[in-house]
Amino acid sequence: MKLDRSNRFEDFFADDAYVVLKNFLYNYLLRKRAVKKCMQRQEKGLILEVGSGLSPMVTDSDGVVYSELSFTALKSLQKIQARGFFVAADAAHLPFKTGSFTQVVCSEVLEHLPEDRPALREMAEVLKKGGSMILTFPHRQDYFACDDRFVGHFRRYELREMEERLKEVELNLAEIRKVLGPLEKLTMVFVVSAVSFLQRLRGGKSDSREKAATWRIIAPLFKWCNHLYGVPVWLDARLFPRSLAAVLLIRAVKL
């Protein structure tokens, strides 16, 4: 099947309904919690979050720089995230000095890049020696399916593959955490299949203002359902072995 490489996210960033709902999603909340827990024991200092979009992982620090290719996303993020600094930049061409940051956070970004190595080199370059890079990424190549194609993933990663990429830029793997398990994968395949089916029924036509108003009305229920569903998804990730995880978090230290 041919992959759609168009930038769906520019449409999402300008969609009021997407802005209203994105930060309620159970998988975002679980990723954010895992990243926060991983960062707690690390040295304090200036933080760079690469590819923050509308849903950054770091939201409780004044010393964070949000870097995002989409200027539309950054403008929207500034409205909802009062703290920090905002820089429009390509992950493969970061406009920062060598060794500027104590921590670099990059969550669910590398799989969207046609070439991920330049971005990893840039992030390692701006990280100071002894600093930590925290990544989350979709795990297991065998899991690549319609949900990956829908959001424009170029790949999923095996753990050994990611470890090799980090060694190439002189980063040592220090910590591995399971974030989401196989239940997450099944859920997203079902959701994307259902959404695609409904879009075909409607012929792809919808009134964005009407849709945003509708979603705002049901947002409290949507939020509650996601918090509730997050419990079995969290348990699923804890119970299944790491080899079956759908999303992994790793922390790597610069030599």
Q: What is the pLDDT of residues 84-110, one digit of tens each?
A: 999 999 999 999 999 999 999 999 999
Range from 69-73, 138-142, 197-201, 245-249 carrying the lowest mean pLDDT: 197-201
In three-state secondary structure terms, 184 is helix
> Which residue in this structure is represented by tokens 């424009």?
152
Tokens encoding 139: 């795990």
Task: Report the alpha-carbon angle 115-67-98, nearest 5.
Answer: 80
Contact (Cβ atoms closer than 8 angstroms) between residue 100 and residue 72: no
Mean pLDDT, range 190-213, rounded to an integer: 72
Contact (Cβ atoms closer than 8 angstroms) between residue 182 and residue 244: yes
**pLDDT more than 70, % of the chain:** 87
pLDDT one-digit tens code per residue, 11-61: 444 455 556 677 889 999 999 999 999 998 888 899 999 999 888 999 988
Produce one character per residue of 219-240: b if its CB has 16 or more CB atoms within 10 Å, e if not. eeebbeebeeebeebbebbeeb
Q: What is the pLDDT of residue 7?
A: 44
Q: What is the pLDDT of residue 20?
A: 62
Contact (Cβ atoms closer than 8 angstroms) between residue 50 and residue 109: yes
Pairing of strands 47-50, 247-254: unpaired
> Which residue in this structure is represented by tokens 């995002």?
68
CATH (one of 2.40.50.140, 3.40.50.150, 3.40.50.620, 3.40.50.10800) for 8-254: 3.40.50.150
In three-state secondary structure terms, 218 is helix
Type and span of the H or E element at 85: strand 85-88
Task: Report the alpha-carbon angle 178-184-190, nearest 5.
Answer: 165
Tokens encoding 15: 């969609």
Whole-angstrom Cα distance, residue 157 to residue 174? 18
Type and span of the H or E element at 107: strand 101-107
Contact (Cβ atoms closer than 8 angstroms) between residue 99 and residue 129: yes
pLDDT at 149 over 60: yes
Whole-angstrom Cα distance, residue 109 to residue 138? 10
Which DSSP letter does residue 69 get? S
List of residues 6+ apart from 87 with CB closer than 8 A = 65, 66, 67, 68, 74, 95
